[in-house]
């Protein structure tokens, strides 16, 4: 019976190892995707904010032009400001929804985020999984061949 017990223990270790590896991979992917999307949206939002600031510093009688394909079209100042503010609001909403998406991913994995940013939890989960893998390989009995 000891042989079957050893086999069962090895099988359990392999299953645990596979679960930890899958968790690590999923967490890292989710974290990377969320960080990339949030960084891109935030960069676009900052560019729009700078554009809005520059337009507000220009005198009222200066003509504003908007790129349309390979040409430029004159646009009233109020229309340009409204479009830019609308785009900025959309990007802010997208960033907020990405934050909610990260929170939903955390909940699906089983973590309950309380006071830290959701992306930090994904990163911590990935680091914990890596640490568990290192511990398993470090403390695993060496097999003789």
pLDDT tens for 76-113 read 999 999 999 999 999 999 988 887 777 766 665 554 33
* Domain locations in the chain as residue ranges: 2-52+92-139
**Residue 5's pLDDT is what?**
60
**Residue 113's pLDDT is what?**
37
- Positive or negative: CA dihedral 57, 63, 66, 70: negative
pLDDT in tens, 1-37: 445 665 656 666 667 667 777 776 777 787 778 778 8
Strand partners, 64: 75
pTM for this model (two decimals): 0.59
At residue 136 the predicted structure's pLDDT band, cuts being 50, 70 and 90, is confident
Alpha helices in the chain (DSSP H): 2-57, 77-109, 118-139
| Mean pLDDT, residues 54-70 | 90
| Mean pLDDT, residues 52-72 | 91
Helices 77-109 and 2-57, packing angle to 10 deg? 170
C-beta of residue 64 within 8 angstroms of C-beta of residue 75: yes
C-beta of residue 62 within 8 angstroms of C-beta of residue 54: no
**Residue 143's pLDDT is what?**
58
């Amino acid at each position: 019976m000891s042989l079957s017990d050893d086999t069962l223990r090895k099988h359990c270790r392999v299953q645990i190892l596979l679960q930890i590896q899958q968790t690590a991979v999923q967490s890292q992917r989710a974290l990377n995707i969320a960080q990339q999307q949030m960084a891109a949206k935030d960069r676009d939002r900052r560019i729009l904010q700078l554009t809005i600031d520059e337009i507000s510093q220009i005198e009222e009688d200066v003509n504003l032009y908007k790129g349309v394909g390979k040409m430029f079209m004159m646009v009233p100042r109020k229309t340009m400001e409204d479009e830019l503010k609308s785009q900025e609001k959309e990007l802010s909403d997208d960033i907020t929804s990405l934050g909610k998406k990260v929170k939903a991913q955390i909940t699906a994995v089983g973590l309950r985020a309380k006071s830290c940013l959701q992306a930090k939890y994904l990163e911590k989960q990935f680091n914990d999984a890596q640490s568990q893998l290192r511990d398993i390989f470090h403390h695993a009995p060496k097999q003789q061949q």
